[in-house]
Amino acid sequence: MASRRLRAFKRWMTSNHIEYSDALDLVELEDGSICVKSNCYLKEGDLVATIPKQACLTIRTSGAAAMIEAAGLDGCIGLCVAVMYERSLGSESPWAGYLQILPFSEPLPLLWTLDEVDSLLRGTELHKVWFRFTLLGFDGVVVCVVQTIKEDKELIHEDWKQYILPLVHSEEFTIDPNYFRVEDYFAAKSLVASRSFQIDDYLGFGMVPLADLFNHKTGAEDVHFTSAPSLDESDESAESVTDDENDCNDEEQIQTRQPQENVSSARSNDEGSSDGPNSECSEDVTGNPMVLEMILVKDVEAGTEVFNTYGSMGNAALLHRYGFTELDNPYDIVNIDLDLVVQWSSSLFSGRHRRSRLSLWRKLGHAGCVSQNSEYFEISFDGDPQLELLILLYIILLSEEDYMKLDLILATSRNDGESATAYLPKRGNFLLGEISEMSRETLLTNSVCEALLSLADMRESLYGTTSLEDDIESLKRSNCITERKLYHSLVLRISERHIIEKLRNYSEKSSKSVEGLHSRKRLKS
């Protein structure tokens, strides 16, 4: 039996010409959230819902359209104003039946207290910890925590002051200030971040009733959301919410660094990246440019949940953007900051040594991934370190003699344009040539493997004193509904720590195979 608010939503959908298949059930869960289930076997290609674009809440369809335009607002801020404005109208809003099924806000880390961020996300990719370094020498002092989420909160607060408060104080517009408080703005931001879709060029992105009730499943979605090309567009499908052009939010400053080839930070607009409850671009069935459609992309068993995909992203990005995580998410990664490598090398070598090796690494054309002024290396879900990290460690660990030769050769080959690889240290030849995955084996000397183990320990120590086993035990005891923040932050910590564990295994295995190779060579000779 549908709850009262679901019945009201269904009536609202009918009066707004939103149609959906009888085979779909909207199910309200005990925490008040909603998911979509099938009540019979469904076939791939079935059209399961059509949503007129006019039923979507956007900056153009909202009653606040004139105010938003007059204030020169657009993008995410404009849509937040539209959401707050329609909420302020209560039952008078044309979207009242839709708005009443939305939560006030999504529990994104951006809305957590700084204490919660600091205690629950410590060490994770969402909790950027900066170490104080100088290029002349690491002084060993950890000075600053909760950098990015705190900064983002401040930026959003600034936006509110700069763009929303003037609307409240303006004599030109009559709006109810009780719905435009800073907490209302944060709440609207969380809804826009987690449940808006790109509709088309004219309407931009907006809140799409019904489509935003489908939950996400990584790499296993059942349904796609599509938009027929509108008359003035040639090839536009419903797309992700926060591509760069939408410039959705400053909160995206938070580092949710992901594998280069698989989407990534919330700022990414790589192809294939999809940062919203979203769809892949595909042609719609009816070709009607005025409607959005939901089409099944695979057969769905009766009685199972029907999932959409919000894109291929790791748990840090999922938690940051949507407030949840998934166990065993194959898009998870852990990053090792260049700063951590510098810290490790400072414990073994002089500042001069470190600077010269880093400089040689750069002269050879290498770099880490860069995001918001920090450089880092990725450790994949399987625990494989980024090749660039191996090269850097290899160069830092080269003997002084080999380093001098390499440096000299680099200078000479630059001067006369000729390669002098004959003079290179035997194992270092490839450093001047093309570095490929083939080079991995050569790079994995015993000392590089040891360095990886040290880096794994250093990265692990950022999580504080609780062990991985403690975290696993806490996860077993935590309730994903009543202790949502704790539960999802534990999943994030555990998934990252598993990757660090895999990095250790990788290093130990590689070190053993190097030893095996040496003993075979010794036996041969």
Ligand X SMILES: C[S@@+](CC[C@H](N)C(=O)[O-])C[C@H]1O[C@@H](n2cnc3c(N)ncnc32)[C@H](O)[C@@H]1O
Tell me if residue 499 falls in helix, strand or coil: helix
Under rule CB under 6 A, residue 20 binds ligand X: no
In the bound complex, what is the minimum distance in angstroms from residue 133's beta carbon to ligand X? 37
- 460-519 residues in contact with ligand X (CB under 6 A) are none
Q: Using CB under 6 A, which of 60, 87, 195, 493 touches ligand X?
A: 195
For residues 124 and 496, is the Cβ–Cβ distance under 8 A?
Answer: yes
**492 in Cβ contact with 315 (< 8 Å):** yes
User: From the CB of 328, what's the least distance to ligand X, in Å?
Assistant: 13
Q: Is 35 in the site for ligand X (CB under 6 A)?
A: yes
Rounded distance, CA 45 to CA 368, Å?
43
Report, in Å, the least distance between residue 256 CB and ligand X.
14
Q: Does 213 bind ligand X (CB under 6 A)?
A: yes
Which positions from 81 through 140 interact with ligand X, judged by CB under 6 A?
106
For residue 311, state whether it binds ligand X (rule: CB under 6 A): no
Q: Which residue has the tokens 């041969």?
A: 524
In the region spanning residues 164 to 193, those forming contacts with ligand X, defined by CB under 6 A, are: none
Pattern 275-304, binding to ligand X, x per CB under 6 A?
--x---------------------------
**Binder among 147, 215, 372, 474 for ligand X (CB under 6 A):** 215
Q: Give Rg (Cα) of the chain.
A: 27
Report the distance separating Cα 204 and Cα 194, nearest Å.
Answer: 16
Asked whether 126 and 316 are in contact (CB, 8 A), the reply is yes
Whichever of 307 and 463 has its CB closer to ligand X, that residue is: 307
Residue type, 4: R
Residue selected from 160, 322, 381, 506 as contacting ligand X according to rule CB under 6 A:
322
User: How far apart are CB 223 and ligand X at their closest, in Å?
Assistant: 12
CB atoms within 10 A of CB 39: 13
Q: Which of 446, 449, 427, 425 has the alpha carbon at shortest distance from 505?
A: 449
First to last CA, the chain: 80
Separation in Å, CA 3 to CA 95, 147, 307, 411, 518? 18, 42, 22, 75, 70
**Residue 140 identity:** G
Helix, strand, or coil (residue 30): coil
> Residues 86, 184, 212, 332: which binds ligand X (CB under 6 A)?
212
Q: Under the criterion CB under 6 A, does residue 221 sit at the interface with ligand X?
A: no
Nearer to ligand X (CB atom), residue 212 or residue 388:
212
- At closest approach, how far in Å is the CB of 220 from ligand X? 10
Burial of 21 (0-12, 13-18, 19+ CB in 10 A): middle
Residue 360's identity, in one-letter code, is L
Nearest distance, CB of residue 191 and ligand X, angstroms: 9
Instruction: Give the nearest distance from C-beta 180 to ligand X in angstroms.
Output: 23
Shortest Å, Cβ 421 to ligand X: 52
Select from 4-12, 114-122, 155-163, 215-223 the region that touches ligand X (CB under 6 A).
Answer: 215-223
Specify the residue, 312 or 335, whose C-beta has the smaller distance to ligand X.
312
Is 33 one of the binding residues for ligand X (CB under 6 A)? Answer: yes
- What six digits make up the tokens of 398? 């080269």
Q: Does 239 bind ligand X (CB under 6 A)?
A: no
Cα(221)–Cα(298) distance, rounded to whole angstroms?
Answer: 8
Residues of this chain that bind ligand X (CB under 6 A): 33-35, 106, 194-195, 212-213, 215-217, 277, 322-324
